[in-house]
Structure 1
Amino acid sequence: MAVSSRTLKLRVSAKKSVADGVVVLDLEHPDGARLPDWTPGAHIDLMLPGGLIRQYSLCGDRWDACRYRVAVLREPEGRGGSAYVHDRLQVGDGVGVGGPRNNFPLVPSERYLFLAGGIGITPLLPMIHQAQLTGADWNLVYGGRSRGSMAFLDELAGYGPRVHVVPEDTRGRPDLQAWLGDVRDGVRVYCCGPAGLLDAVEAACAHWPTPTLRTERFAAAQQELPVRDAPFEVVLANSGTNVTVTPGTTVLEALRRVGVDVLSSCMEGVCGTCETTVLDGRVDHRDALLSHDERVTADRMFPCVSRACGDRLVLDL
């Protein structure tokens, strides 16, 4: 998918509450211009005051060329982005938008199982719509604290018995063993939600073929120690510059030290903003974005967290 590299100044055309602690924003170009295309699983960056950049999944109609829709959960323990959206951002306000980019693409399949926890429903909504359009066999298991906290239930009700809503306060947690205990040929599993759900789903899918499960995380998973605890060299192919990366420094920090300003946001390997092409060298992938097959290919990395396995990496910078 082509990704827009520029930041657009869009206008908030609508704002409404869709669940306890969740608001939906509609964003449009002030002149009504067409917005960059996107595919299911894509997200945009919202550029908020104070240098805050936050990523939100596009959850509207991808065929609506003039409107983006995102849903924002209020996070009391967050760094202020969601509080600003909930309390201060109003209809008519302008906001910078970067992207869209897609680190969670929907691959073609005849059968899908979608697993959502809370606000993790957002990237799955366009996937469900796409699966329905293509005639795929699919089911959604959607868990949350209570029905009142679960967004888009009215919209999902239109899909009938394919949607399985599991509010924890009345039904407990989703029975992952019932859905994932038996391996089923040709099923692709997509999961988004809090870390506890993703960890449980990954464990439940351990006996499935490797490409089956694809997840999207809101925060980085617990990482093992780096493969290498010694310095390594990063070569910038476009300029021939060599940069030494020490054990206590990220590749991104080392690049900035020599004046290479790679766009970044989360600093945790979850947003994909700093994606960089790797021309040579083996990468110690420490992000929460790449699939197993993508890690084997090793033609890109996220320098905010990933490192080198050997003495040298050559980057397309």
Structure 2
Amino acid sequence: MRPTLPMTYRRSTVLLSVAFLALCVSKTYAQEHSSSSSSPSSSSQMTEEEQQWQQRFERAEGFRLEMLQTRRGVEFYYDFRKKNVQDVQKSRTKCQEDLRHANRDTTFPTLQRCYTKELMLNKELREKQKEYAESVPGVSEDMRQQTLAALNTLIDALTSMIEGTENAVFRSKEELIEAKKNLHTAYRTPTLLALLRMEADRTDTWIAHLMQRLFTMTQNTSLSPDAFAKASETMQCYEEAETEMQSIGNTNEFIKENGNMRATMQHLQHCAELLREAHTLQDVFEHPPVEPTEDRSMYSPRRRWSGQ
């Protein structure tokens, strides 16, 4: 039997019971729907909280397997992105040095050459991001297609800009700067927003997966009171992070939304720490440390007498 908990844990206990009910209801509906197409939808009989849990279970279904199958590709993408950032920084450092040594006649050609190099590096990154967006798990199909469309549009714009710099379309530094501003406003910012929304969507699936695993953990009938209390605190933490994550991308202000994303990721790090604490508490409960026993044989009257 589950240990009796204080009133402070009552809310989490109810929450977990609701989660279990939502899972049962979804299975019942699947069975009824398969036997009769005229059966009423069980979702209309579920509370809002039960529907949220059902959505979490559906969202997390198969995510872990897909994540394991695509793990190497995702790691390769992040390694590529890190190297791309380093390459851009190296290119800018070299260009600054070249511009310092350029004279009046070579300054603008040097500037065009430097910008062309940066455009090419940026295009390589966007093409790699396109591959990532095509295969990364945990993303809804609508969100995936929106991101791919934004990336394709940006890649086309980058290609046009590269051709323009290589064919001397821009006649002055001012024209080049204006084209660069237009590229950022019309193409790069919308793409950054699309990528941010896709990552928020993927992270939302990750949260659903963790909450599902946490729910499974709380069904352990031998869960200690301390571990159950910490698991309940963790569940509430993930609920709050889920709400924050689902609100990201609601505006077109990239800087603001990117800041919200960073704050939510920090919140998730705190949730992960709570989850580790819950596992540690349960591990200590299941495998308590063995206290060393004192060897009292030296105090035995028989031993003292035999030693005389």
Common fold: TM-score over 0.5: no
Structure 1 or 2: larger helix share?
A: 2
More strand, by proportion: 1
Q: What TM-score does the superposition give when structure 1 sets the normalisation length?
A: 0.24
Report 1 or 2 for greater relative contact order, CA contacts < 8 Å, sequence distance ≥ 6: 2
